[in-house]
Structures are given as C-alpha cells and as structure tokens.
Amino acid sequence: MNSVLKIEKKYADSITNLALDTLKNNKQALIFVNTKRSAEKCAEEISKKLKQSNKELTDLSTQSLKAVSKPTRQCKRLGICLEKGIAFHHASLHAKQKDLIESNFRKGTVKIICCTPTLAAGLDLPAFRAIIRDVKRYTNRDMVNIPVLEYLQMSGRAGRPNYDTYGEAILVSSSDGQKDELFEKYVHGEPEEIYSKLAVEPVLRTYLLSLISTKVINTNDQIINFFSKTFWAFQYKDMNQLKITINKMLKLLESWEFIQFTDNKFRATVLGKRITELYIDPLTANQFVINLEKASNQIKPIALLQLVCNTLEMRPLLRVKLKEYDDFQEEMSRYEQYFLTDEPSMFDPDYDEYFNSFKTSLMLNEWINEKDDDYLMNQYDIGPGITRMKIETANWLLYAAYEIARIQQKQDILKEIIKLKYRLRYGVKEELLPLLKLKQVGRVRARKLFRANLKKLSDLKKAKPELLAQIIGSKKLALDILDQVGVKIETNNNKGQLSDFSQRKV
DNA sequence: GGACGGTGAAACTTCAGGTTGCCTC
DNA sequence: GAAGTTTCACCGTCC
C-alpha cells in the first residue's frame, strides 16, 4: 500500500497517538519495546489517557492481582492498566498473568499489549497492528540494532487471518534522518544468515558426550566423520579447526572422567552416561563432582543453592547493582564459610558472575524461607515470572547434583538435597514439609495450619472440622483435607453452616 | 528563621529472552 | 543510547 496513514496527534508521544488511533478504529495492537520497564511505562501512559472501564475489565484486573498471594507493585500496575483494556507483557510476569493477558487479547477484551520480544515469536498472537517502537537493544555494554530477522518476527504479528484482510506493521523512527535508515535496513533489508551454534564449547561438549554415551560414534574417525556432515562443518568448511576443537573437548571430557579411551574407542563412564541423560553441561557436572566431594551432612541449603547458581545453566543471574554492592558484600562474608565452590579473587574477571551467583542463591534462600513475591520484588527487583523460572532451573540442577552425589556414593548429603528440592519447589521452611503431602495445600495454607498448631498429618486427624474450615478459609477444602488424612465427614446439607459438620469414625 | 514541599534540571543507573532439562522427602 | 530514577539546588509558603 502506498497510501499515507493519518493519525491524530493529540499527545506529544507518537506511540500513545498510534494506540489511541487503533482503539478508535476498534482494532488491536501489539507494541514492541526494548525493556520491561518501558513496556510497563508505555502501557501505563496509554491507559492514563483512557476513561472507560467495564465490569469485564474490572474482573480481569482483579483476577490478575490474584496470580500471587501478595500482589507486587508490578501486579498492581498491571491491574490498573487492565482496567482500561491495556496490558504489558514480559518475562517477569507470573505465568497466570501472561495466560490471562494472552487469552483476553484473543477474546478482544484486552486491546493493546505493550511487550518486550516475548510475544514476537513462538506465540500465535496476531493483532491488526504491530507497532515496533525500539530497534535498538542493549547487549553487553552496547546498544545494537536488532537483527532483521527479529524485526520480521515482530512485524509478522500484524494481520489476523480470521478477522482482518490485512494488517499494519509500523516501525517508529525518532527522527526523519532515521526514517530512511530504518526503511533501508529493515523494510527493504534481507534477513541475516543463520549460523550453526555447534561450535560453541558448551554445546559441542554436551553433544560429544551424548553421542559417545549413546554409542552413535565411538572411534576418532567416526567422530570426525559425523561432525564433518553437520551444518557447522558445511558452513565453516575448515575441518582442521574443527578437529582441533573436537580434540580439545574430548581431552576435557576424558580428564573429567566422563569418557575413557580404550581399544581405540571412546566409551562413556557410568557418570558420563548419567550426565548425558540429565542433559546438563559437562562443565557444570564436573563442578558438581568436585564440589560435592567436599560436602558433608552438615551442608547448608545456601551452599547447595550457590553451587547450582554458579553454573551456565542458571544464567542470566540476578545482577548485583551498584547500590547493592556493599550490602551484598557484607552478606556474602556472612555465608561464604559454608560455600563448597572456590571464590575467585576480587580482581578475577569471573568475580562478578560469582557475586551474582551469590545474589541469586540468596534470593532462592529467601524463597525457601517463605518470603513472598512482593518481598522478593522489593529486595531483589525480581518479578514472579523470573522467580519461578529460576526455581525450576535450580530444581533441575539440584536433581542433577543428587544423581551425581548418588553415583559418588555421598549418601550423607542425598537427604539434604532432596529436602532442599522439596523446599524449593514449594518455597517453604523445613517444618512445613509434612503438610505439603496434602493436595490443595501449598506454602500459604501449610503455614496457616502450622500456625494453628496443626503441624503434622496426625494433628489434622484430630482437628475439629469447624476449626479447620476457619483456619483454611473454606469448608469444602477442610472436608477435602480431612478426607485426605482418612477422616470421613458427612454434612447435613451442602449449603449448611459449619455447625452442620458431623464426624463419623472411620 | 527554619521546616517543609514543590519543581525542574542534572547526574546517575540500568537495560530481552524459557529453546531444553528431572519426576525424587 | 536513551528512558527512567534519584539527587540536589532553588524557590515559595507557612508557622
């Protein structure tokens, strides 16, 4: 189309004007920005300009606040935006909130989503307009233009097959000069070549070990032959360089005792085989092997957490911010006596990441001491979505650590790892673990029961149904819990008062 | 005269993302 | 590189 789109310039901010224009035409838009903060701000600005709200939106807003037990400032901000049918969307949101926003955008309740690239790929969430505000993004100390591929991903969200005959992808420039540049680079530009990632050492060592332990390739010739047929080799053509890298990785795997070379064949050791099954980076596995060797049954949760946080799999780690530096330094000096890993020197380039791994493990440590999302956001500047992601990864790594410790016959720490895994999954102190066997009981309800002196399942068996219902805040749930511990209750009628409970011995 | 509050400019700080992977007190 | 946040100087008002 060659026609020029006329947009009313009611406000100074062109994004807001575009959003309002979209709404005026009764259409929907996705607005892509380059930071989480911008996404929130952008949504907020647009929603401020809108007055109308309806019950559907108010309900939606309330629902979004219920995603976590104590709403964070991020949740509240989202709630305010949703009241106007506007949302922001990025990785820090709780999965429930993301689902809510996505499904309500599909339904048409939510009209505008300001988002980071989360919504660019993978998800099928088309809109009439895809508005791309930022084409620059910060990547390790530099602002760089995003790849054309990514621009295409974002603009590809425009146009809903079943609703519109066409869509509009709008790339916003900040000046006339930039306009031509953007047009050349993105609109007329060719997407980048795709490059093989196999040459990256963590990837290469993972696949080498995997191929050897599944016996796909075992001899030197087979190995070279296999890799010479990969896209990597096709792309770089330099088989000599390839051989050097492969040999380096083989030596490494051998020195870590994940593979052995006998009778002209590479074979995976028991440990190596399990590491492949666990799908962790052999480097991580080796760190676990070395450090778990030092562990005793006196090991502290923070030590295990720090061990798993100090891996490539956990990246990106929480960053220690400038302001926090001294505080975390002090905090770390309190805990480092328990650590299994060796602390690099302060002048070592690895020190920052080590420090970050400590911050991350401290966050997880707070989680297992029942700190809520609101607290974690204020203290660590981390949203529910990221928290859950880190918990899940840490949990997987802890399982890997468990398996390695098992093979190492470190019986004394196995129990500690299992306990920690459980605590991590539910975000509870050790004392609540017995109660978590119950379905429908998580960290919040378990804590309520514990406070009421119902600390074990046997305590629950003796609990008065009325009291239990009061503690848990639901009669139905109280009955369900009693049923789970083997106490059958009959009610006189379903709508009855709590006093309608009658207990029957079983 | 001093406490307080509002304002705005300058200084400072920070910055996207589930590729997956396990199923266990 | 730029948006967002914090800091700080400045000014007016009130008691």
User: Tokens at residue A398, please?
Assistant: 């802890």
Contacts of A221 (CB under 8 A, 6+ apart): none
Length A149 CA → C2 C1' (Å): 23
Residues A498 and A288: their CA atoms lie apart, in Å, by: 53
Residues A92 and A113: their CA atoms lie apart, in Å, by: 15
Residue A437 to residues A69, A416, A488, Cα–Cα distance (Å)? 20, 18, 18
Residues A88 and A118: their CA atoms lie apart, in Å, by: 11
Domains in chain A and their CATH numbers? 2-187 (3.40.50.300), 201-278 (1.10.10.10), 297-427 (1.10.3380.20), 435-505 (1.10.150)
Residues A34 and A174: their CA atoms lie apart, in Å, by: 14
A143 touches strand C (CB under 7 A): yes
Q: How many other C-beta atoms can be found within 10 angstroms of the C-beta atom of residue A63?
A: 15
Would you say A426 and A432 are in contact if contact means Cβ atoms under 8 Å apart? yes
Measure the N-to-C terminal CA separation of chain A; round to a whole number of Å: 76
For A260-292, b where at least 16 C-beta lie within 10 A, e where not — what string? eeeeeebebbebbbbbbebebbbbbbbbbbebb
Specify which residues A171 forms β-bridges with: A132
Which residue's CA is nearest to the C1' of nucleotide B17? Answer: A118
User: Tokens at residue A81, please?
Assistant: 């935006």
> Residue A142 has what DSSP assignment?
E
Length A379 CA → C15 C1' (Å): 39
Q: What is the pLDDT of residue A247?
A: 92
Specify which residues A143 forms β-bridges with: A138
Which residue's CA is nearest to the C1' of nucleotide B24? Answer: A418
Q: A395: which nucleotide lies closest, measuring CA to C1'?
A: B22
Length A100 CA → B8 C1' (Å): 40
Q: Torsion angle of alpha carbons A249, A405, A368, A337, nearest 10°? A: -80
Q: What is the pLDDT of residue A2?
A: 57
DSSP three-state, residue A143: strand
Q: What is the DSSP string of A46-98?
A: HHHT-----HHHHHHHHHHHTTSSS--HHHHHHHHHHTTTEEEE-TTS-HHHH
- Return positions of chain B under 7 A from a protein CB: 12-25
Give A185: exposed, middle or buried? Use CB within 10 Å, 0-12, 13-18, 19+.
middle
Contacts of A181 (CB under 8 A, 6+ apart): A173
Specify which residues A489 forms β-bridges with: A503
A328 touches strand B (CB under 7 A): no
- Quote the pTM value: 0.91
Contacts of A259 (CB under 8 A, 6+ apart): A209, A212, A213, A250, A253, A266, A267, A268, A269, A272
Residue A191 to residues A137, A187, A405, Cα–Cα distance (Å)? 17, 10, 47
Q: In which element (H, E) is residue A423 found? A: helix A411-426
- Return positions of chain C under 7 A from a protein CB: 1-5
Q: A134: which nucleotide lies closest, measuring CA to C1'?
A: C2
Q: In which element (H, E) is residue A489 found? A: strand A489-491
Q: What is the pLDDT of residue A199?
A: 80
User: Tokens at residue A445, please?
Assistant: 């309800």
Residue A489 to residues A150, A323, A446, A494, A499, Cα–Cα distance (Å)? 59, 57, 21, 12, 12
Residue numbers in A 126-165, CB below 7 Å of strand B:
137-139, 141, 150
Q: A119: which nucleotide lies closest, measuring CA to C1'?
A: B17
Specify which residues A169 forms β-bridges with: A130
Residues A377 and A190: their CA atoms lie apart, in Å, by: 41
Q: What is the pLDDT of residue A495?
A: 46
Maximum C-alpha span of chain A: 82
Cα A368 to chain centroid distance, Å, stands at 17
Q: What angle do CA A281, A285, A290 make, to 5 degrees?
A: 150
Q: What is the pLDDT of residue A52?
A: 77
Specify which residues A24 forms β-bridges with: none
Q: What is the DSSP string of A256-279?
A: TTSEEEETTEEEE-HHHHHHHHHT
Residue A17 to residues A13, A50, A391, Cα–Cα distance (Å)? 7, 12, 40
A91 touches strand B (CB under 7 A): yes
Q: What is the pLDDT along chain A (506 residues), one digit of tens a residue?
A: 557 778 888 887 889 999 999 999 999 999 999 999 999 999 998 998 888 789 999 999 999 998 888 899 899 999 999 999 999 999 999 999 999 999 999 999 999 999 999 888 777 888 999 999 999 998 877 888 999 999 999 998 998 887 888 999 999 987 777 888 888 899 998 988 888 888 888 889 999 999 999 999 999 999 999 998 888 888 877 788 888 889 999 999 999 999 999 999 999 999 999 999 999 999 999 999 999 999 988 899 999 999 999 999 999 999 999 888 888 999 999 999 999 999 998 888 889 899 999 999 999 999 999 999 999 998 999 999 999 999 999 999 999 999 999 999 998 899 999 999 999 999 999 999 999 989 889 999 999 999 999 999 999 988 889 999 999 988 889 998 998 888 887 665 544 444 444 544 43
Q: What is the pLDDT of residue A48?
A: 87
Length A324 CA → C14 C1' (Å): 39
Residue with tokens 């559907």: A56
A138 touches strand C (CB under 7 A): yes
Residue numbers in A 107-126, CB below 7 Å of strand B:
116-118, 122
Q: A430: which nucleotide lies closest, measuring CA to C1'?
A: B25
Which residue's CA is nearest to the C1' of nucleotide B14? Answer: A321
Helix ranges, A132-269 (H):
148-155, 176-182, 201-213, 220-228, 231-236, 239-255
Q: In which element (H, E) is residue A359 found? A: helix A351-367
For A66-95, b where at least 16 C-beta lie within 10 A, e where not — what string? ebbeebbebbebbbebbbbbbbbbbebbbe
